[in-house]
Amino acid sequence: MWSYVKSHVVGEFLACFVVGLLCLNVVESRDFNCREEQIQYSAINCRKHTALLTDFGGKGDGKTLNTAAFKAAIANLSKVASDGGAQLVVPPGRWLTGSFDLTSHFTLYIHKDAVLLGSQAESDYPLIDPLPSYGRGRDAPGKRFASLIFGTNLTDVVITGGNGTIDGQGAIWWKKFKEHKLKNTRPYLIELLFSNQVQISYLTLTNSPSWHVHPTYCSDVIIENLTILAPIDVPNTDGINPDSCSNTRIRDSYVVSGDDCIAVKSGWDQYGIKFGMPTQHLSIKRFTCISPDSAVIALGSEMSGGIQDVRAEEIYAINSQSGVRIKTAQGRGAYVKDIFVRNMYMNTMKYVFWMTGAYGSHPDPGYDPKALPEITNINYRDMVGKNVTIVGDLSGIQGDPFTGICISNVTVELASKQPSVFLSEKKKKLPWNCTDIAGVSSRVTPTPCDLLPEKQVDCAFPADVLPIDLVQLKTCSVGVGI
Ligand SMILES: *[C@@H]1O[C@H](CO)[C@@H](O)[C@H](O)[C@H]1NC(C)=O
Ligand SMILES: *[C@@H]1O[C@H](CO)[C@@H](O)[C@H](O)[C@H]1NC(C)=O
Ligand SMILES: *[C@@H]1O[C@H](CO)[C@@H](O)[C@H](O)[C@H]1NC(C)=O
Ligand SMILES: *[C@@H]1O[C@H](CO)[C@@H](O)[C@H](O)[C@H]1NC(C)=O
Ligand SMILES: *[C@@H]1O[C@H](CO)[C@@H](O)[C@H](O)[C@H]1NC(C)=O
Ligand SMILES: *[C@@H]1O[C@H](CO)[C@@H](O)[C@H](O)[C@H]1NC(C)=O
Ligand SMILES: *[C@@H]1O[C@H](CO)[C@@H](O)[C@H](O)[C@H]1NC(C)=O
């Protein structure tokens, strides 16, 4: 029994005992098939205690609902939060579950051969209040279904695995949404509110009913090595949406989506303005996106708490509607400022640069049309685009121009043949169309609009490194009998 565990984390007595027992349980039920496996993973913190979902009655047969097992396991493991914390290992199998909540000083580890399957029954997702910064749900004015994996007011929480899978089985939700049959807002796949020291990594996330990863009102968030896959023709399946979060890094991830691959947000009109919590200090590196109908990185449209200090580099886009897109509207208030993007490579794009001040989409008629957003200090440099339809469509707001736009060292090859959808429109699309903006450009091909005159400049990119980018993950090791 003792040989099943080789945790190098100190104080492994309980972990040994628990894992040994777990293995024994599996031995009994699986005709002595139990084998020892040494798992290694990278995390902000390793844990002293370990348990398997099977010890709490979990069944990985793809049919049994495991919500109660997850809840029992996490309730049990929350008791050791202040004694070195715990990791819950989801072993190989297909684990159907409804929504459950995480706890602090806790790791949910999804084995490489494990798939979490989101229940398709509305009753498996408790109803929760709208986000205070949104005032209402995005799909419907009422409540929201809690996300499949949910957490609020947590510290030090890790969701990781050996590239195990979380499958939201969203098809039924997409259908209900399109048919206007939902009275409440769809669940997200993973949502954490008011939490700090968050890590979501080394997983495949797929088919979320709506957004996949939604850290909201969080700080010190690490999101890396995620593969996020959704059909490209389904609604609102955004990849990663940092929302009113400070100090976030997104790295080494790949998203295919029907909506934005990354959408940076901070609340909606009067509710977001009142709540007043920005997304700031966000670093995105080595990120690949396929999003034929949306943006690689969207800023907004909900930005009413402000968006400031976003740095993105080594971004690869294939067959996407737009590169970086700023979406805002009268009534949003706040700001999008100090945005820096460099080394972005794009192939087959409708737009490289897209900004709109007329996005519309208001929560209710109570918004203040005089609440004008301030869009300023937007820097794009060192980019290559191929097979592009429109280089820049930049429209600010009349009387509230978007300023300080800088674009340097950008080479775009236009698509040789304009798709018929554009030829059939009355107006021929121009490579650049700018209104109510101000800025400069340097070494940009094709030549930008007159509102971005040539100046010999290299657009800014911060020389400092954000503290979140310096956080080193620890190597955690745990032996389990599975
Ligand atoms: C839950 O935790 C307690 C220790 O607090 C332990 O004795 C018990 O065995 C655990 N339950 C299960 C089902 O593992
Ligand atoms: C979570 O934290 C927020 C902000 O501090 C607070 O308003 C809220 O009441 C807390 N919620 C819970 C469930 O503790
Ligand atoms: C993780 O799994 C996904 C889906 O099977 C796969 O596309 C991806 O390449 C895997 N990532 C790694 C790093 O193995
Ligand atoms: C995360 O992705 C990067 C880039 O692909 C890779 O070098 C690194 O090994 C990955 N980490 C893990 C733990 O798979
Ligand atoms: C160029 O883009 C169009 C869509 O705008 C696409 O149909 C075509 O395959 C792309 N060509 C290449 C060489 O990628
Ligand atoms: C211009 O951008 C390209 C593409 O990112 C890069 O390889 C090159 O080094 C840049 N040139 C300068 C002078 O910065
Ligand atoms: C340029 O953009 C403005 C503002 O969005 C729009 O009204 C106009 O039709 C556009 N012009 C062309 C030629 O696309």
- Asked whether residue 395 carries a pLDDT value surpassing 80, the answer given is yes
The answer to the question of residue 70 being in a domain is yes
Judgement on whether residues 212 and 274 belong to the same structural domain of the protein: no
Q: Is the peptide bond before 448 cis (omega within 30 degrees of 0)?
A: no
Q: Are residues 239 and 300 in the same domain?
A: no
Alpha-carbon span 101 to 106, nearest angstrom: 11
Instruction: Summarize the confidence of residues 183-199 as an average pLDDT.
Output: 98
Cβ proximity of 262 and 240 under 8 Å: yes
Q: Inform me whether the pLDDT recorded for 63 exceeds 70.
A: yes
**Residue 248 included in any domain:** no
Which amino acid residue places its CA nearest to atom 10 of ligand 1? 76
Biggest alpha carbon distance in the chain?
Answer: 76
How confident is the model over 118-129, as a mean pLDDT? 98
pLDDT value for 18: 40
Tell me, yes or no, whether 168 lies in a domain: yes
Cβ–Cβ contacts within 10 Å for residue 325, how many?
24
> Do residues 365 and 414 share a domain?
yes
pTM: 0.93
182 and 303 housed in the same domain:
no
β 36-43/474-481 pair status: antiparallel
Please give the pLDDT value at position 428: 61
Return the CATH number at 139: 2.160.20.10
Pocket of ligand 5 (CB under 6 A): 348, 387, 415, 419
As a residue count, the chain comes to 482
**pLDDT at 1 exceeding the cut of 70:** no
- Substitution site in 293, 352, 387, 390 for ligand 5 pocket (most atoms within 8 Å of beta carbon): 387
Cβ-count burial 21-48 (b if 16+ within 10 Å, e if not)? bbbeebeeeeeeebeebebebbbbbbbb
* Omega prior to 424 cis, within 30 of 0: no
* Predicted confidence (pLDDT) per residue in 397-421, tens digit: 999 999 999 999 999 999 986 555 5
Average pLDDT of the chain to the nearest whole number: 92
Res 419: pLDDT? 56
pLDDT at 35: 80
- pLDDT at residue 479 tops 80: yes
- Tell me how far apart the terminal alpha carbons of the chain are, to the nearest angstrom: 13
* Pocket mutation for ligand 4, best pick of 40, 225, 314, 476 (most atoms within 8 Å of C-beta): 225
Q: Are residues 432 and 370 in the same domain?
A: yes
Report if residue 207 sits inside a domain.
Answer: yes
Q: What's residue 424's pLDDT?
A: 52
Q: Tell me how crowded residue 318 is: count the other CB atoms within 10 A of its CB.
A: 16
Residue 177 lies in a domain: yes
Q: What is the pLDDT confidence band of residue 20, given thresholds at 50, 70 and 90?
A: very low
**Are 235 and 122 in the same domain?**
yes
Is 308 inside a domain boundary?
yes
Give the pLDDT band (50/70/90) at residue 31.
very low
Looking at the structure, do residues 58 and 186 belong to the same domain, yes or no?
A: yes
- Domain membership of residue 202 (yes or no) is yes
Tell me if 202 CB under 6 Å of ligand 4: yes
* Position 26 confidence tier, pLDDT thresholds 50, 70, 90: very low
How many domains are contained in the chain?
Answer: 2
Ligand 7 site, CB within 6 A: 395, 427, 430, 433, 435
Best residue for ligand 1 mutational test, from 24, 53, 76 (most atoms within 8 Å of Cβ): 76
For residue range 144-170, list pLDDT tens digits in order.
Answer: 999 999 999 999 999 999 999 999 999
* Segments forming the whole domain that contains residue 348: 260-451
150 and 201 in a single domain? The answer is yes
Q: What residues does ligand 1 touch, defined as CB less than 6 Å away?
A: 55-56, 76, 79
pLDDT digits (tens, 9 = 90+) for 83-117: 999 999 999 999 999 999 999 999 999 999 999 99
Residue 127 in 3-state DSSP?
Answer: strand
CB 311 within 8 Å of CB 462 = yes
The model's pLDDT over 242-280, given as tens digits with 9 standing for 90+, comes to 999 999 999 999 999 999 999 999 999 999 999 999 999
* 2, pLDDT greater than 90: no
What's the average model confidence in pLDDT over 451-470? 97
120 lies in the same domain as 218: yes
Pair 317, 423 in one domain: yes
Over residues 358-365, mean pLDDT: 95
Residue 427's pLDDT band (cuts 50, 70, 90): low
As a whole number, mean pLDDT of residues 189-217 equals 98
Active site residue 259: yes
Atom of ligand 7 nearest to the CA of 356: 5
Both 233 and 339 in a single domain? no
For residue 330, being part of any structural domain is answered with yes
Q: Which 3 state secondary structure label does DSSP give 119? A: coil
266 lines ligand 6 (CB under 6 A): no
Judgement on whether residues 239 and 145 belong to the same structural domain of the protein: yes
How far is Cα 415 from Cα 288, in angstroms, rounded to an integer? 21
What pLDDT is recorded for position 10?
33
